Amino acid sequence: MLINVDKLPREGLKVSRDFEFSSLDLVEENAVFLQPVWAEMSINRIGDEIRIKGKVKTCFSFVCSRCLMPFKFPVDSSFDLIYLPEELDILKEELGTEDLNNYFYRDQQIDLREVVLEQLNLTFPVKPLCSEKCQGICPVCGKNQKDGKCGCVVEDSDPRLQKLKSFIKDRR
């Protein structure tokens, strides 16, 4: 959905709708959409500056990085963005540090689909976990630790520390 900056009404524009994306559009390769993306935005113009303030909601299925089980990841995120004309991007060196967080539009247009997609990608965790307390899988037998301990003996030995351990053992 393209917004023509020159044709924005004085009172601004309100957009509230579903957006369709493919899982291939996302930065997280294992993310799968469980419901459509709903976004609500208000778009206002102050001179050349365009302010887009809004919310984005959806739900994904991720694969846990520890136990490899799928889990639901709801998204309910707010954003407040400032867009400037692309010509000002050239003057970036002259802009203050507070201006570096601004975005730039080209040819008097802003693609709201790209805005929503970027905000979705920013909500993703660096390491998707089904819960903070997830124990993951046993490195020996592969059993999910959520289902209980497996009884395998796991030696927490870092090979880089072997020489230090033998040095301490020899000193006793």
Q: Are residues 11 and 72 in the same domain?
A: yes
Q: Are residues 100 and 170 in the same domain?
A: no
Residues 168, 119: one domain?
Answer: no
Residue 82's contacts (CB-CB under 8 Å, 6 or more residues apart) are 49, 50, 51, 101, 102, 103
Q: Give Cβ neighbours of residue 135 (< 8 Å, ≥ 6 apart).
A: 66, 67, 145, 146
Residues 45 and 93 in one domain: yes
pLDDT in tens, 90-103: 555 555 545 556 77
Full-model pTM: 0.71
**74 and 92 assigned to the same domain:** yes
Query: Quick one: 102 and 36 in the same domain?
Result: yes
Domain shared by 51 and 76, yes or no: yes
Given a cut of 90, whether residue 2 has pLDDT beyond it is: no
Residues 62, 140, single domain; the answer is no
Summarize pLDDT for 36-94 with one digit per residue, the tens. 999 999 999 888 888 999 999 999 999 999 999 999 999 999 999 888 887 655 555 55
The reply to whether 147 and 78 lie within a common domain is: no
Residues 101, 17 within the same domain? yes
Domain check: are 122 and 151 in the same one? no
- Structural domain of residue 76, as residue ranges? 2-134
Cα–Cα separations (whole angstroms), residue 146 to 136, 140, 141? 7, 15, 14
Task: Summarize pLDDT for 65-74 with one digit per residue, the tens.
Answer: 999 999 999 9
Q: Which of 77, 91, 5, 74 lies closest to 35, judged by CA?
A: 74
Q: What is the chain's mean pLDDT, rounded?
A: 83
Rounded CA-CA distance 115/50 in Å is 13
Q: Is the pLDDT of residue 129 over 90?
A: yes
User: 60: exposed, middle or buried (C-beta count within 10 Å: 0-12, 13-18, 19+)?
Assistant: buried
Q: Are residues 86 and 72 in the same domain?
A: yes
Number of domains in the chain: 2
Long-range contacts of 10-16 (CB under 8 A, 24+ apart): 12/42, 12/43, 12/44, 12/45, 13/42, 13/43, 13/44, 14/40, 14/41, 14/42, 14/43, 15/39, 15/40, 15/41, 15/42, 15/43, 15/54, 15/112, 16/40, 16/41
